[in-house]
């Protein structure tokens, strides 16, 4: 794709359209898959298996980007209505990620229904099954603490704790980060495992989105709180990760596999957190060069209809990382969010994206 003369605003306009559609329609279930799910639900005698969840983390990643687009407000309102309507049927921890969007809408509208829903999310998280260190298991029937949950719940808990002046929720958010830094990291590389349980560390070391989730969680906490251990860990992780950024500014599906496939989702997630780290004064302004370098190359993966290609598929389980690359909410949302942040900078001279030669 020829990106000569294009700006972040041009790409934002394209990505917004696909993000709005995906926000309300993802996942799109084929007729064949629907029939299979019906058969499986009948076999298991569990009608809940027929439910299609459109308020989970992929949808929320889109919503968190779209809140920066004034024209997308009707889509955000529809999404929040769906979230509130289904909150009593909530079954999984990652659904509470939507709390960050509800908080945005509450601050914008002063509608108490948004705040009430956030209170229900907070109650769910405080009552969710935890380990001996007060860290939430990713699933009720599992005893694994996954790094994904840090990026999903810590930003919401931290912001809601500040708004409600709830020290217990603030401490709960902090405990998720600190305990993962203690039990979920590979000390030789300084990179995260996918997760840990009471007896072992699990998954692979340095999965790209794992790094993204961890950095997102740390930034989510540090945006509202000071914490020496978490601040140092964030800077140390930045230093480690930056060494794996390739010559085009991209990160790979496995951070250390620099000859492996580039992953636009991991790249966008990591670059967002680096940008935020600079904004919060945790990283030097020079770190923005790495952000802009990656953002320019990301443009080569944006199709004419606004899809962000080059993202690895959804993780199926610990140790199962499908090498099926395409456009997903977890590449669309973070890329849109990153471009929105960069476009909002005062230095408009940085908005032009030069022509590159990247084969996608």
pLDDT digits 0-9 by tens, 77-115: 999 999 999 998 888 999 999 999 999 999 999 999 999
Q: Are strands 191-192 and 185-186 parallel, antiparallel or unpaired?
A: antiparallel
Q: What are the C-alpha distances in Å from 205 to residues 75, 186, 302?
A: 37, 7, 28
Q: Is residue 237 part of a domain?
A: no
- Residue 319: pLDDT band (50, 70, 90) is confident
Q: Is residue 206 part of a domain?
A: no
Q: Read off the pLDDT of residues 15-35 as tens digits, 9 standing for 90 and up.
A: 999 999 999 999 987 566 555
Q: Specify the range with the lowest mean pLDDT, choosing from 1-15, 140-154, 172-186, 257-271.
A: 1-15
Q: Is residue 311 part of a domain?
A: yes
Q: Is residue 40 part of a domain?
A: yes
Q: Read off the pLDDT of residues 259-316 as tens digits, 9 standing for 90 and up.
A: 999 999 999 999 999 999 999 999 999 999 999 999 999 999 999 999 999 999 999 8
Q: Is residue 304 part of a domain?
A: yes
Q: Is residue 135 part of a domain?
A: no
Q: Mean pLDDT, to the nearest integer, of 110-138?
A: 97
pLDDT mean across residues, the chain: 91
**pLDDT for residue 71 is more than 50:** yes
**pLDDT for residue 220 is more than 70:** yes
Q: How far apart are CA 339 and CA 7, in angstroms?
A: 9
User: Hey, how many other C-beta atoms are within 10 angstroms of the C-beta on 150?
Assistant: 29
**pLDDT for residue 196 is more than 90:** yes
**Rg of the chain's alpha carbons, rounded to an integer?**
20
- Residue 6: pLDDT band (50, 70, 90) is confident
pLDDT value for 293: 97
Q: Is 191 helix (H, G, I), strand (E, B) or coil?
A: strand
- Residue 198: pLDDT band (50, 70, 90) is confident
Q: Is residue 91 part of a domain?
A: no
pTM of the model: 0.93
Q: Is residue 221 part of a domain?
A: no
Domain count of the fold of the chain: 1
Q: What are the C-alpha distances in Å from 19 to residues 8, 43, 88, 102, 161?
A: 16, 35, 26, 18, 29
Q: Mean pLDDT, to the nearest integer, of 236-243?
A: 98
Better-scored residue on pLDDT, 266 or 351: 266
- Domain of 254 in residue numbering reads as 1-52+248-360
**pLDDT for residue 349 is more than 50:** no
Q: Give me the percent of the chain exceeding a pLDDT of 70.
A: 89
- Residue 47: pLDDT band (50, 70, 90) is low
What DSSP string describes 66-100? HTT-GGGHHHHHHHHHHHHHHGGG---GGGGGGHH
């Amino acid at each position: 794709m020829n990106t000569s003369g294009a700006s972040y605003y041009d790409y934002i306009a394209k990505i917004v359209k696909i993000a709005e559609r995906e926000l309300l329609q993802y996942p799109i279930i084929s007729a064949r898959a629907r029939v299979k799910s019906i058969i499986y639900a009948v076999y298991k005698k569990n009608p809940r298996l027929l439910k299609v969840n459109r308020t989970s983390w992929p949808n929320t990643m889109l919503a968190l980007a779209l809140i920066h687009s004034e024209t997308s407000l009707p889509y955000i309102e529809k999404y929040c209505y769906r979230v509130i309507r289904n909150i009593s049927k909530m079954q999984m921890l990652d659904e509470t990620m939507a709390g960050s969007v509800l908080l945005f809408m509450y601050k914008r509208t002063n509608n108490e229904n948004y705040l009430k829903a956030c209170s229900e999310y907070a109650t769910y998280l405080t009552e969710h099954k935890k380990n001996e260190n007060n860290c939430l298991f990713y699933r009720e029937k599992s005893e694994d603490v996954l790094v994904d949950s840090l990026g999903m719940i810590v930003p919401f808990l931290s912001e809601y704790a500040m708004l409600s002046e709830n020290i217990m929720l603030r401490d709960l958010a902090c405990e998720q980060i600190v305990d993962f830094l203690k039990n979920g990291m590979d000390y030789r590389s300084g990179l995260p495992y996918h997760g840990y349980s009471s007896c072992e560390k699990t998954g692979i070391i340095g999965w790209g989105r794992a790094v993204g989730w961890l950095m997102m969680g740390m930034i989510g906490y540090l945006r509202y709180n000071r914490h020496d251990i978490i601040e140092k860990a964030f800077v140390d992780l930045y230093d480690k990760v930056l060494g794996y950024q390739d010559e085009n500014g991209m990160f790979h599906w496995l951070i250390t596999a620099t000859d492996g496939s580039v992953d636009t989702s991991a790249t966008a997630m990591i670059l967002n957190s680096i940008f935020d780290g600079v904004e919060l004064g945790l990283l030097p302004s020079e770190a923005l060069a790495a952000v802009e370098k990656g953002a320019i190359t990301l443009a080569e993966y944006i199709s004419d209809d606004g899809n962000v290609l080059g993202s690895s598929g959804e993780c199926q389980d610990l140790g199962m990382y499908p090498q099926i690359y395409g456009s997903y909410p977890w590449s669309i949302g973070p890329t849109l969010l990153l471009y929105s942040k960069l476009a909002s900078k005062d230095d408009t001279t940085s908005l032009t994206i030069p022509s590159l030669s990247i084969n996608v």
